[in-house]
Chains A and B, each alone.
Chain A
Amino acid sequence: MPRVRIRMHKLGRYAYLSHLDMVRVLERAIRRAGLRLAYSQGFNPHPKISFGAPLAVGVTSTCEVADVEFDGSVSPDEIINKLNEQLPEGMKVDKAVLIDRRAKSLMSEIAAARYIIRMTLAGPELGQLEDSIKQLLDRDQLLLEKTRDGDVKVVDVRPYILDMKAMAGETLQIEACLRTGSKGNLRPDDLVTVMRQYGVLPPETIGVRIHRIELLVERDGRLVSAI
């Protein structure tokens, strides 16, 4: 039963699909493509598809990574070709690689993710943004209030920002690499909150769009791409 890691993109309107929607879409595309999925044993067999690091609804991505187990032999090229015949424009598979069946699960391996945060309106000047990001990263701690199950908790999220820089583009944008997974997690929308809180972004900044470009795993102490 080959285990295959695939990378998909999720652009345009498909950003509005949830993590569960993505699993369902992929499962059905695989069935339509005539590829044989492996199913779990038990009363209620479910397909062996697992996406790493679910995105919030509304976030676009060129790096949706999933591990899929197939029943019977299948090649990465065949998977890409057959699935892309079944998937809509905006949600295609860009890469597929065979991985070791005994490899750690994607979920447990993911250590970080890289995002681009774009501001369409009323953002600061580029130079000013570069300075304020530098000041932000120079702080010892960055406190964020998080509410979970009604309890308010203050978390220092500074360790979770691995790198961050301002870039000029069509619009002003920030690229940030954030800790993701069980050993610490910072969501990109929480980073936006922190930036507002510490004055990096003026409160009136609107039209913030988040896009994920890379998922990273930790191997021998180094961060490398998940696929």
Chain B
Amino acid sequence: MELGASLRQKVLNDILPLVEKPGRYIGGEHNSVSKPWDSVSTRFLFAFPDVYDVGMSYLGLRVLYHLINQREDALCERAFAPWPDMEALMRSNGIPLYSLESFTPARRFDIIGFTLQYELNYTNVLNMLDLSNIPVRSSDRDESHPLIIAGGPVVYNPEPMADFIDAFVIGDGEEVINEILDMMASNDRSRDRLGLLKELAQIEGVYVPRFYDIRYSGLSVSSFSADAGVPDRIVPRRVRDLESVPFPDEVIVPLVDTVHDRAMVELFRGCTRGCRFCQAGIIYRPVRERRPETVRKHVLSQLDSTGYNEVSLMSLSSADYSSIEALIGSLAGDCDSRKVTVSLPSLRVDSFSIGLANRLQGLRKSSITFAPEAGTQRMRDVINKNVTEDDLMEAARAAFAHGWTTIKLYFMIGLPFETDEDVLGIAELAHKVIDQGRQVIRDAGGNPGRAKVHVSVASFVPKPHTPFQWVRQDSREEFERKIGLLRRSIRSRAIKLSWNDPDISLLEAALSRGDRRVGNVIEKAWSMGCRFDGWDELFEPEKWWDAFRSCEIDPEYIGTTDRDVSSTLPWDHISTGVSKSFLLAELRRAERGETTPDCRSDRCTGCGVCPSLEVSTVLSTGGTADA
């Protein structure tokens, strides 16, 4: 019997009757692609280091899966992290990690590509390699093993995972994945793994960590040397014009419920609002919009080929899409007659956005979310979140007037240069929103008691490549004190306060700003049983702190120490296209409470991305900001 077939039978008959949510592990979805194994020369396994329900909601998987399967010489299948109950049964029954399309063991693929969306997925990467019977360390692998590559936003600081991944792919994936597959097709990879990696390192945007010798002193790099023939600095890939790369319509339709179970069309990539805490706002620059007629075409054909009744128009800030009104107008008729709802994620805080949301959601109004991020104007200026209290009050008024009764507000605490007054400002703002809501509902003749505000507070994590990359994170005690302060200052029962576990943010900071030495900690934590660290119910901070201790690394030192702005940071050899001097200037402006405008509607801010990556802002209305 074919290997895949016997594995499949064993999983279906003996394993799945015993697991929770077995539908995660069966494959067989509409639009999944099963090509004959021997019909292609390169088999790529797209590995998502979280459960199926999360991974299938990720747009990048849809894009790359489609792109690779369009090639005649390659196939792409999928694997996700098994939940611990499934993992235990797989291990006790000798079932390796397998692909959902053909139930082929992961180890038989030529390339396994992980997407790293979140630092707290790192242990799952190691676990998936181990479940595939592949050594977790790159240096322990040979020609008989698949090539292990990784992309995604967090690989802009690849060092913590550098010991485990053969090659990182930095930046937009659409073009570089084809270059990698072309190279694989022409390379006799069975003979010389080092040669293959050398060749891979020639592709722009590819970083092969084993060719770099990096030494550290404290938190900074003391010496850095690249082997002959590999670049000193990795230039990220950026697709110049999204119209030039394929976008999938025949997307896989999951059989079981997933987090975002709907059609998705990307409006644009990049955001130049310039929030100083936001890494996405740096690494996807500049703004590149698709044309509204292209978006419309993809919406309709994706709905046709999936049968979905909801479509999400994706981007970092969808109300900013320059043709948004025209697009919504042109979709309204089609979507109404098909009983399809359109949603816009990440709404801006203003009444324009509320107007849009109102048009789209019709009668279905549960709650609406705004992210003012900080409680006082001074603090919002520090982080360059260009939202005023008036904007928020106006947006809240519009939302209550249109019939929403619950408003969710997202904030951060522990931001740089924060004072207690800024923390208390969060509570004040929430009270003002409640008062506003009661007033509006009362004026409309309704019951003012229906107005509700949910305040959600996250602990700030300074991220690499942002203006706050040098800044210390608050200590656990500081976070806890500030949460306490906030809890005591909320007087209204109509306001619900929730906050995240500071331990998660502390670990996130240590992993996201860590260097190559942190790899030992990740391996240790994994070997101690850490999995799915981003899931509250499975997160075991004590194991992590033990792992840090046994590797003689102090996570608080990585997180809660200010860094010297003149030092070389552990991620400085990975470029985002944005200059370090711009980030530093932004940090200085933050300190002075000065804001920086958005370059798509104002003058160039000199971040450096356009000249260094030879790209420019692409607006669907035809303009380019720097033209």
Residue B623 lies at the interface, judged by CB distance under 8 Å to chain A: no
> 20 other contacts beyond A21-B257, A32-B307, A88-B28, with CB at 8 A cut-off?
A13-B28, A14-B26, A14-B28, A17-B255, A18-B256, A24-B255, A24-B257, A27-B309, A28-B30, A28-B253, A28-B307, A29-B30, A31-B338, A32-B30, A43-B363, A57-B23, A58-B22, A86-B307, A88-B30, A90-B28
**In the complex, the 6 A-B pairs of residues with the closest C-beta atoms, listed nearest first:** A28-B307, A31-B307, A13-B26, A32-B307, A16-B22, A43-B363
A28, B17: Cβ atoms closer than 8 Å: no
Q: Which residues of B contact A32 (CB under 8 A)?
A: 30, 304-307
Residue B364 lies at the interface, judged by CB distance under 8 Å to chain A: yes
Residue B308 lies at the interface, judged by CB distance under 8 Å to chain A: yes
Q: Within the complex, which residue of B12, B23, B309, B363 is in contact with A31, where a contact is CB–CB below 8 Å?
A: B309
* B14 to chain A: closest residue by CB: A207
A18, B307: Cβ atoms closer than 8 Å: no
Q: Within the complex, which residue of B17, B30, B309 is in contact with A86, where a contact is CB–CB below 8 Å?
A: B30
Shortest distance from the beta carbon of B370 to any chain A beta carbon, whole Å: 23
A13, B308: Cβ atoms closer than 8 Å: no
Residues of B within 8 A of A (CB): 12, 16-17, 22-23, 26-28, 30, 253, 255-257, 303-309, 338-339, 363-364
Q: Which residues of A contact B256 (CB under 8 A)?
A: 17-18, 21
Q: Which residues of A contact B257 (CB under 8 A)?
A: 20-21, 24
B27, A13: Cβ atoms closer than 8 Å: yes
Shortest distance from the beta carbon of B585 to any chain A beta carbon, whole Å: 50
B307, A30: Cβ atoms closer than 8 Å: yes
Q: Within the complex, which residue of B12, B255, B307, B308 is in contact with A21, where a contact is CB–CB below 8 Å?
A: B255
- How many of chain A's residues have a CB under 8 angstroms from any CB in B? 25
Which chain A residues numbered 83 to 103 have a C-beta less than 8 Å away from chain B? 86, 88, 90
Residues of A within 8 A of B (CB): 12-14, 16-18, 20-21, 24-25, 27-32, 39, 43-45, 57-58, 86, 88, 90
Q: Which residues of A contact B253 (CB under 8 A)?
A: 28
B305, A13: Cβ atoms closer than 8 Å: no
Q: A13–B22 Cα gap in the complex (Å)?
A: 9
Q: A14–B26 Cα gap in the complex (Å)?
A: 8
Q: A107–B12 Cα gap in the complex (Å)?
A: 30
Q: Within the complex, which residue of B12, B309, B363 is in contact with A13, where a contact is CB–CB below 8 Å?
A: B12
Q: A17–B257 Cα gap in the complex (Å)?
A: 10
Shortest distance from the beta carbon of A12 to any chain B beta carbon, whole Å: 7
Q: Within the complex, which residue of B22, B305, B364 is in contact with A43, where a contact is CB–CB below 8 Å?
A: B364
A28, B308: Cβ atoms closer than 8 Å: yes
Q: Which residues of B contact A20 (CB under 8 A)?
A: 257
Q: Which residues of A contact B338 (CB under 8 A)?
A: 31
Q: A18–B254 Cα gap in the complex (Å)?
A: 13
